[in-house]
Structure 1
Amino acid sequence: MRIALIHYHLRRGGVTSVIMNQAQALMEAGEDVLVITGEGEASVPGIKRVLVEELRYDRDRETLPGTSGEELTKRAKELADAIVLAAKTHWGGQEADILHVHNPLIQKNSALLRALHILQEREPRLLLQNHDLAEDFRPDVYAKGEEYPINCHYAVINNRDRSFLHRAGLKFEGLHLLPNEVRSINATPDLVRNRYLYPVRAIQRKNIGEAILFSLFIPKEKTVAITLPPTTERDIRIYRGWMEFVRELDLPVEFELGMNTSLEDVYGSALGIITTSVKEGFGFSYLEPWIAGRTVIGRRINHVCRDFESSGVQFDSLYSSLNIPMVYISSTILRKKLEQTMMSVYKRYGMDPPRYIIKMMGEDLASRDVMDFSRLDETTQGGIIRLLVSNQRVFRDIADVNPFLRDLVNWKPDETVISLNRRRVLESYGREPIHKLLRETYRAVLNTPVTHKIVKSILLELYLDPTQLSLVGVGND
């Protein structure tokens, strides 16, 4: 089988790791694989990679591309032609049997959706795998005015996205669940384990303020350690603000631990692996630590964890919310911020928010005695942390409504659960089971024609739940 794996770029981490794992697994099974990408340094050992300039991110081009209808159509044809040429050159004049395109509905290249429509007319089999969806509070990458490809196969990485896409019009026979393969991580043995490790790039949706709050409740002489800095200008600005905040209050938080220390060593020095993220597509952070013999502790993302629990993975050190009594929050200011953000989100999607949305947000806030810390903006989060540092009564109040925080000082990992979870993760998300699912999906793409389409307005309504709006989780690239 001739398979072309297509993505905007190959850079370390994220979707790139998924593509590299898929390519290696397919190659080991004897498939003929070509990786087509717009840019990037990462390579797949033993796999041919072709750079197609037309596939690059719009923002990485020397000049901004035109956005008129005629210009987009011209660029889309050039992109489709370049993909076909890359495949034919590699396969001696033959086209791919399957074009497996990663994250095509996230508009990083404004010509890609139109290029996929053109490619469909030439009868290649398309599999569009979505790791993220722009409708999930990511208006910055939403393809306004562009229809998503119809009558082709789609794949997603969690059951919530599968359910939403089905409700928005896709049939299950053309909509596949393709979880990611979980890589092995080794922890260096015999190191002093004195950190609660947050092994992430510190972008805004990772909810860094909550990790900092976490540091106030851990035993003395222990730290919270965040491994990597962000790379985008907006995230860097927020990140530097938190670094200065930590220095000012002299909090036990380390930044950029992973810049000069190996992943094996940072894991080796960890008591446990924390997560405070408000949004994940697949959720590697809930699975990888068990492979390294470390417990996952922190914030639970329900739709992600439910998938893993159905495979037998146990999470007994997670909380669903970190409750802050409303007495410590200005409800008037918070309501204004939430409403303005929601209206801005809708505007950026090219829509006006329905009246009931704002009404629902107001009623939800008015009914609350507590608010989840993750829904607050960085300024409000910082104010809560200052109160915790300076006022013992506030500290006791917040500890009382969050038993997990109160008990952190005595927390210890459960080696029996670690051993069980390690086995379950490998059984369900190791190379063999994930590659089996991939092969089954390819067979369906080749043998099962589908007639369906996504109704974008329905999909948008399913994701934009105003009661779940997080001020640190709204997409801004």
Structure 2
Amino acid sequence: MQILIAHSHLNPGGVTRIIESQIDSLKNIPVKVLVGTCPNPETITSRGAELVIMEELNYLEHKTYSDDEAKEMLDTVLEKLRQQITKDTVIHFHNLNLGKNPIVTFAVYLLAKEGVRVFNHAHDFAEDRPSNQTFLEEIISDIFSHNLSEVLYPDLPNYQFGVLNSFDLERLLSYGVEADRIEWLPNPVTFSCTIVNPDKEASKKTICEELKISDEKLLITYPVRVIQRKNIGEFILLSVLFDHITNFVVTQPPQNPVEREMYRQWVKFCEDHEIDVVFEAGNKVDFERLLCASDFCITTSYREGFGMVYLEPWLLNTPVVGRDIDYITKDFKDDGFTFPTLFYKINIPEIKIDFKDLNMKMQMEIICDLKSGRIEKQKMFEQNPILTTLFNKVADQVIEQNKEIIKSNYSLQGYGSKLQNRYKKLVG
């Protein structure tokens, strides 16, 4: 059995880290990694996996393609994929159905129809992203005249799925995928924790010096790459609301060109209005040391595939607070996790709508009003009483309990066993 792990790219981020974990968990199985681009090949080759670059797996430009263009691209993708496949290969494809490259989605479906074994590892879904869904329809339905649902969720024993949470498991069942073709595969939490017995106070002092911020305030870190769904406006709102007691930092800028203009506007907004958020902190200090030094990690994201941000920081004794995403945190809470303060919405005085649902211009106007005093902070707390507890001290017992749950339920060893058992089901 050979495992061919495939994805559009290996840029820094969640899927890349999961692919690295998968290689680490499959020590006794030959693994080949097939991607469109990989900025740091050593992260794969140093783990003993073979790396193959196939540019056709990259995100496809979202434009109108002629029938001839689409068919030519399809022929190329099929030819190059077949060169990597042997009779005992399992293709483990990440986010195949997301709609970033409909040609590849259709090609893998055609290979599955020929009998190639496919494990479709779904982190995110095109159904949640209308433009992606439209792109799939334009190519798969309009050009290739195939039923989109059949291509995305084929009824084939050699085509199986992995999902990150119970919500997506139920989603696939509702799409007609049989339960025995779905593996519930929560991501492993594999933070290396190279800092032994971290001294938070000393770490914080050093990090704050490097970031040129006061260590007298709470250090609040959003360990994320800033993209639209991470809801950075709400993060900035909270930084203003708590600026008397906190420093807010966020770790990475977006890489997707589509997201960069949004990010640039928020950075400029903070500069223009003297809002002291530290952007790109992950490029200025070591990521692990930053998480270790933080008093809290925070998330304002409104959509996640797995929600690693809710788990990972606890391993460095850093509690996680912020916006609750029910379909994500339900599984963690069912495991016994305790979250100190999570909120479902932020109400703005005189406005009967969740802050996250406002457009960027309106969010900026409200933040300006809060900054200037036209919206009183006290009224914000009256409208959102849960925020008064957001940065309350978290008991050591809660931290230790959550760490133990992570180690028991999200281990790399258990993850690897699940993967290998699923592959064996596919191979027969």
Q: What TM-score does the superposition give when structure 1 sets the normalisation length?
A: 0.77
Partner Cα distance (1:117, 1:203) in 2: 30
Return closer, same or farther for 1:434/1:170 CA change in 2, 3 Å cut-off: same
Residue 311 of structure 2 is matched in structure 1 by: 287
The Cα offsets for residues 358-387 of structure 1, whole Å up to 9 and x where unpaired, read as: xxxxxxxxxxxx321111111111122222
- 1:261 CA displacement: 0.8
Q: State the 1:270 CA deviation.
A: 0.8
Output aligned runs, 1:299-448, within 5 Å.
Answer: 299-325=323-349, 327=350, 329=351, 370-391=352-373, 394-408=376-390, 411-447=392-428
Contact 2:37–2:55 (Cα < 8 Å) also in 1: yes
Distance of 1:81 and 1:246 partners within structure 2? 50
Q: CA deviation at 1:18?
A: 1.0
Is 2:169 the partner of 1:177?
no
Contact kept, 8 Å, 1:272 with 1:294, in 2: the verdict is yes
Aligned with residue 83 of structure 2, among 73, 82, 85:
85
Shift of 1:200: 1.0
Structure 2: segments with no counterpart, 5+ residues: 142-147, 206-214
RMSD between superposed Cα atoms in Å: 2.2
Whole-angstrom CA distance in 2 between matches of 1:309 and 1:379: 35
1:252 is matched with which residue: 276, 279, 290?
Answer: 276
C-alpha contact 1:106 1:133 (8 A) present in aligned 2: yes
| Aligned partner letter, 1:418 | I
Contact residue 314 and residue 421 of structure 1 kept, 8 A: yes
Q: CA deviation at 1:232?
A: 3.0
On the 8 A contact 2:337/2:402 being kept in 1, the answer is yes
Task: Give the AA of the match of 1:82.
Answer: K
Summarize the alignment of residues 35-46 of structure 1 with structure 2, pairs less than 5 Å apart.
35-43=33-41, 44=44, 45=46, 46=48
Q: Which residue does 1:75 correspond to in 2?
A: 73
In 1, Cα distance between the equivalents of 2:131 and 2:319? 34
> Which of residues 209, 220, 226 is equivalent to 1:202?
226
Aligned to 1:33: 31
Distance 1:239 1:40 in 2: 24
Q: CA 1:247–1:170 in structure 2 vs 1: closer, same or farther (change >3 Å)?
A: same
Kindly tell me: are residues 430 and 223 of structure 1, through their superposed partners in 2, closer, same or farther at Cα, counting changes over 3 Å? same
Structure 1's 247 and 9: CA in aligned 2 closer, same or farther, altered over 3 A? Answer: closer
Within the candidate set 136, 157, 167, 1:143 is matched to 136
Following TM superposition, by how much is the alpha carbon of 1:278 offset from its aligned partner in structure 2, in angstroms? 1.0
Structure 1 residues 54 and 212: alpha-carbon distance in aligned structure 2, compared to 1, 3 A threshold: closer
- Of 114, 126, 145 in structure 1, the residue corresponding to residue 106 of structure 2 is 114
Which one-letter code corresponds to 2:376 in the other structure? V
Cα distance, 1:96–1:11 mapped onto 2, change above 3 Å: farther
Contact 2:98–2:132 (CA under 8 A) maintained in structure 1? no
- One-letter amino acid of the structure 1 residue matched with residue 271 of structure 2: R
* Residue matched to 2:175: 168
- The letter for the 2-side match of 1:129 is H
1:140 Cα deviation after fit: 3.4
- Where does structure 1 lack aligned partners over 5 or more consecutive residues? 88-93, 330-369, 448-477
User: In the TM superposition, what whole-angstrom CA distance separates every residue of 1:401-454 from its partner, at most 9, and x where no partner exists?
Assistant: 21232344x62132211111111012111201211221222233234xxxxxxx
Structure 2 partner of 1:8: 8
SS in 2 for 1:49: strand
Inter-partner Cα distance in structure 1 for 2:56 and 2:282? 34
Measure, in 1, the Cα distance between the counterparts of 2:392 and 2:70: 56
1:39–1:52 Cα contact (<8 Å) kept: yes
- Does the aligned pair in 2 maintain the 1:196–1:223 contact within 8 Å? yes
Question: TM-score normalized by structure 2?
Answer: 0.85
Contact 2:253 2:263 in 1 (8 A): yes
Residue 129 (structure 1) shift: 1.0
Amino acid at match of 2:309: S
Q: Give the alignment partner of residue 51 of structure 2, picking from 49, 52, 74.
A: 49
Equivalent residue letter for 2:161:
Y
Name the structure, 1 or 2, with higher relative contact order (CA <8 Å, separation 6+): 1
SS in 1 for 2:356: helix
* Aligned CA distance change for structure 1 residues 229 and 53 (closer, same or farther; 3 Å): closer
Displacement of 1:130 after TM fit?
A: 0.9
Instruction: Give the Å deviation of 1:393.
Output: 6.0
Alignment length, in residue pairs? 392
Residue 218 of structure 1, CA deviation: 2.8
| Deviation (angstroms), 1:264 | 2.2
* Percent identity of equivalent pairs: 30
Shift of 1:318: 1.0
Q: 2: CA distance between counterparts of 1:184 and 1:67?
A: 43
Q: Residue type matched to 2:347 in 1?
A: N
Q: Which moved more, 1:154-163 or 1:227-236?
A: 227-236
2:53 partner amino acid: L
Deviation string for 1:201-245 (max 9, x for gaps)? 111211111111111333635311111112233422222222222
Q: Deviations over 1:333-376 (max 9, x none)?
A: xxxxxxxxxxxxxxxxxxxxxxxxxxxxxxxxxxxxx3211111
Specify whether residues 96 and 6 from structure 1 end up closer, same or farther in structure 2 by C-alpha distance, changes over 3 A only: farther
Contact 1:34 1:49 in 2 (8 A): yes
